[in-house]
Structure 1
Amino acid sequence: MGLLGEVLLLPFAPVRGSAWVIKQVLQEAERIYYDPATVRAELARLEERLEAGEISEEEFDRQEDELLERLETATRASAGTGEWTAR
């Protein structure tokens, strides 16, 4: 894009900047969400809640399945690319 294109698109610079920031925040949120250490910590907290009687066995099984699915997704993504990248 030439100088003329840049000048014409200058009024949209805040929108482009905002879109970039939103993309960066989303990527970081997904990185944290799929981080194996985060998922394992959530699994440990879930087990503590079950042992304390805060949740039922059925609720534990449902949440555990979701967490294990996240862990599997993160493991597959990191094995394929070397690290997790949200796209």
Structure 2
Amino acid sequence: MGLVTEILALPAAPFRGVGWVLDKVVQAAEQEYYDPGPVQEKLADLERAREEGRVSDEEFDEQEELLLRRLEEIKAYQLRRAGSNGA
């Protein structure tokens, strides 16, 4: 019975393959987008820029706020993913 099902489903194989590839692309994009490393690196660069006088305190505060919000978004995403995988 399994062999017959596989043979009958064979014409749909290209569509399943495309779906699998799209799923992998989405997963890779999410991993890159929700990687905290680059955001933490930008925070460190911003701190160095402030210490070196290349960024004003006001500009530092604005950029730091944006980066910290981004880190919060990443953390929330990771918690949601962990919760959905564990449920």
> What TM bracket, shorter-length normalisation?
0.5 to 0.7
CA shift at 1:33, angstroms? 3.8
Gaps of 5+ in 2: 1-11, 13-17, 83-87
SS of the aligned residue for 1:53 comes to: coil
Structure 1 runs of 4+ with >4 Å offset: 26-30
Q: Identity of aligned pairs, percent? A: 43
Match of 1:69 in 2: 69
Q: Which has the higher helix share?
A: 2
1:33–1:39 Cα contact (<8 Å) kept: no
Match of 2:40 in 1: 40
CA shift at 1:32, angstroms? 2.7
Larger relative CO (CA 8 A, sep 6+): 1 or 2? 1
* Structure 2 counterpart of 1:43, one-letter code: L
Aligned equivalents of 2:65, 2:29: Cα separation in 1: 21
SS of the aligned residue for 2:61 comes to: helix
* Structure 2 counterpart of 1:56, one-letter code: S
TM-score by length of structure 1 reads 0.59
Q: For the aligned residues, what is the CA RMSD?
A: 3.1
Distance 1:52 1:39, change over 3 A: same
Aligned pairs for 1:1-87 (under 5 A) are 20=22, 24=25, 28=28, 31-82=31-82
Gaps of 5+ in 1: 1-5, 7-15, 83-87
